[in-house]
Structure 1
Amino acid sequence: MPVELSFCVVNTEQRGLLRYCLDSIARERATVDFESEVIVLDNASQDGSVEVASRHPVVNEVIALPQRQGKAANDSLLLERARGRYCLLLNEDSELEPGATVALHAALDADDRAGAAGAMLVRPDGAQQPSAWRFPSASTALFTALWLHKSMVVQSSGEAVKRVDWVQSAAMLVRRSAAEEIGYFDTDFFVYSDEVDFCKRLRDAGWHTLYVPDSRAVHHEQLQTGNVPSRRIVEFSRNRDRYMRKHHSWISAQAVRWLTAWTYAVRAAGALVIPGHNPKRYLKHVSSTLAPSRGEGLREGAEEFNRRLAPPMGPAGFDD
C-alpha cells in the first residue's frame, strides 16, 4: 500500500525529548486511517539517541549521521528519503497533541495549491506560542520596532484554517511534490530562517502555506530564549540577514538591520530595570544584527564538533 504520510524527526542530543516526540507519534499513528512511516534522523548525537530511536516500536528507519549538519540539510535529506505523499517535519522537542496529524492532513488534502501547513505551537503549560508570521521585510521590522508586531506581523491567530506567509518547522506538514519542485530547503541556511526561505520559495512557485489551529503540538523548546548562547544569536542574525539579501534589495536589508538593532537596544535598556531580563543578551543581538558576518555561529560549532569526531592523522596522511 502506498505511504500517505511520513513522520520525519530531526534529533540532536535530546534523547529524553525524542522519547516524548516518538510516543506522541505512536498515539497519532494509531488513529489515522492511512498508511504512514516514521523516519528519525539523528544529527551525530553522542547521548544514546540512536539506540532510543532504534528500539522504539513506532520507528521504521533511523538515519544516523556520522557528522553534524544543519537543519535545512537534515530536513531536505528526510524529504528526499521519505516515501509519503506528505511529510510531517518535527523537531525532537515537538510533542503532537491528539488529532494534530489528522487536522494537518485534512487541511493540505483539501487545498491542491497548499504546499505546507503548520500547527499551533503551545508551551508545556498550554500557553500558545506565535508560530506563523508575515515574511520579513522593512515594513515588518518597522512594525516590530513600533511594538505592533503582535497585530501586524504575527499571523497565528483565529480558530479557522487560513493562508499565512510562513510557519515554524517544529511541526510542519509538507507536500513532498511541492518541496521537490522548489529543490527542498536551501542548505545555505544552516538553521534559522530556513523555513522562512522555504515558504517564500513555495509562494514564488505558486504554492501557499496554511496555519491550522485545530492541529496542536507542544513545543518544549529545549533551548529557552531566556538563556540563549552567543552562537545561536550569531546564527539567528546572520540568517535573517541572508534571507533579506536573497529576497530583497540592499537598502531593505540595511533597513531591517538598523530597525531590528534599535528594537533590541530598547529591550536592553528595559532589561536594566525589569527583573528577570538580561541586558547583555539583548546587546549581543544588537551587535550581531548590525554585523551579521562577524562572530562564530552554530555552523562553526558544528564544524568544531565534527573535527573532534575525526580521527587524528599521522605525518604522512595516514591514521595514527
Structure 2
Amino acid sequence: MKQVSIITVNYNQPEVTEELLKSLREVNTYKPLEIIVVDNGSRNNPVPTWKATYPGITFIRSEVNTGFAGGNDLGIASATGDYLFLINNDTEVTAGLIGGLVSTMEGNSAIGIISPKIHYFDQPGMLQYAGYTPMNYFTARNSCIGQFEKDEGQYDSLSGVTGYIHGAAMMIRREALEKVGGMAENYFLYYEELDWCERIRRAGYEIHTDLSVLIYHKESVSVGKRSALKEYFMNRNRILFIRKNTGLGTFCVFFLYFLATVVPRNLLSYVVKREFSFIPVLLRAVAWHFTNKTDSKHLGYVIPGQI
C-alpha cells in the first residue's frame, strides 16, 4: 500500500487540532499513514504537550505565523509519503476517505491533485464543496458547486476533472509536487491553493474531485466570518492570482474591471454596514500591486508575531 502523509496546520486552536487527531486515530481505516502537525506560531506552544500525548506523530513548531501556504510547506518539507493529504485542522475524516482518494489516484496517473466531497460539520448533509467551475480570468470569478445545498447525490456524477480543489482537503501526488514545488507563500492566506492548481495543470496534470468520499469541515474556525485580515488578503490575492496566471492583456482587462466595479461596490458596502475600518484595508490591498512584484515577500499587512 502507498504511504500517505497527512499534513495539518494549527494556529491558536489546539482543541480543534486534537479533535482532528482523534478522528484520524478512531475513524480512519487507512494504513500506512504518516501524520505531521505544524504549529504555526501559536501564542502558546502546544508542541511539547502534544509530543508527550501523541507518540508516533511528527510535530513541527514555527516561531512565527507563516500563513496557510507557509505552514503547509513546512509540513511538506518533512513528508515522506507517496501521496500528501493536506487537510485543515478544523476537519474530521470519515472511514473510507483516505483509502478512497488513494484508490482513485492510483487508478488514474493523470490526476495531480484531488479533493473529496465536503460537508459542513455543524450541518451534516449540507454540501460545502462538490467541485469548482472554471475561472473567468477577466473577472476572477468562479463558483463552488453545490455549496449550501442538501446533499442528495445530485452532483456525484461530477466526480472527475474540476476547476479547482478545495484548500480544506487536498491530496497531491508526490510526482506532481516534485515538478511544481509547494504553495506560493506570499499569498499568506486565500487563493494559494488555486494558484497551486494552475501550476499543477501547467505541469500536465489534471485537477479532480472524488465525490464518493467525504470529509467534514468546521468552516472559519481560525479566521472568522469577517475580519480586516480576510478583507485584505481576499482582495489583494484576487488581483495577485490574475497577475501571476494570465497574460498582460487579460490582466489589464481584469484590473480595469476590479477598479471600476469591485472597489466601488466594496466601498459602498462598507459605508452602508458602517464598517469604515475596512476602507483603508481595501485601498492597501489594491495599492500593494503598484509597488510589489508578483513574487514579493512583502505582505503589506502586519501579522501579529511575524512582522
TM-score (norm 2): 0.80
* Residue of structure 2 in register with 1:313 after alignment: none
Indicate if the aligned counterparts of 1:264 and 1:285 stay in contact, CA closer than 8 A: no
Specify whether residues 288 and 168 from structure 1 end up closer, same or farther in structure 2 by C-alpha distance, changes over 3 A only: farther
Letter in 1 for 2:253: A
Indicate if the aligned counterparts of 2:39 and 2:62 stay in contact, CA closer than 8 A: yes
Indicate if the aligned counterparts of 1:135 and 1:200 stay in contact, CA closer than 8 A: no
CA RMSD across the alignment: 3.2
Specify whether residues 289 and 301 from structure 1 end up closer, same or farther in structure 2 by C-alpha distance, changes over 3 A only: closer
The reply to whether residue 301 of structure 1 matches residue 299 of structure 2 is: no
Q: Kindly state the Cα deviation for residue 54 of structure 1 after the two structures are TM-superposed.
A: 2.2
Q: Aligned to 2:37, what secondary structure does the other structure show?
A: strand
Alignment of 1:223-262 (within 5 A): 223=222, 226=225, 228-259=226-257, 262=261
Q: How many pairs does the alignment contain?
A: 289
Indicate if the aligned counterparts of 2:139 and 2:258 stay in contact, CA closer than 8 A: no
Structure 1: how far apart are the matches of 2:235 and 2:288? 6
Structure 2: how far apart are the matches of 1:282 and 1:119? 34
Structure 1: how far apart are the matches of 2:88 and 2:53? 17
The reply to whether residue 57 of structure 1 matches residue 54 of structure 2 is: yes
The reply to whether residue 104 of structure 1 matches residue 94 of structure 2 is: no
* Residue of structure 2 in register with 1:314 after alignment: none
Letter in 1 for 2:306: N
Indicate if the aligned counterparts of 2:13 and 2:222 stay in contact, CA closer than 8 A: no
Letter in 2 for 1:81: S
Q: Which runs of 5+ in 2 are unaligned?
A: 147-153, 292-297
Q: Kindly state the Cα deviation for residue 110 of structure 1 after the two structures are TM-superposed.
A: 1.2
* Residue of structure 1 in register with 2:295 after alignment: none
Letter in 1 for 2:62: L
TM-score (norm 1): 0.77
Cα deviation digits, residues 147-202 of structure 1 (max 9, x gap): xx5xxx33467104211121122111111221111122222322211111111111
Structure 2: how far apart are the matches of 1:278 and 1:120? 37
Percent identity (aligned): 20
* Residue of structure 1 in register with 2:209 after alignment: 211
Q: Which runs of 5+ in 1 are unaligned?
A: 308-320
The reply to whether residue 115 of structure 1 matches residue 112 of structure 2 is: yes
Cα deviation digits, residues 78-131 of structure 1 (max 9, x gap): 222111101110121122233221222222111111111112222221221146
* Residue of structure 2 in register with 1:70 after alignment: 67
Structure 2: how far apart are the matches of 1:193 and 1:81? 23
Structure 2: how far apart are the matches of 1:212 and 1:285? 38
Cα deviation digits, residues 45-71 of structure 1 (max 9, x gap): 123432453244375210111222122
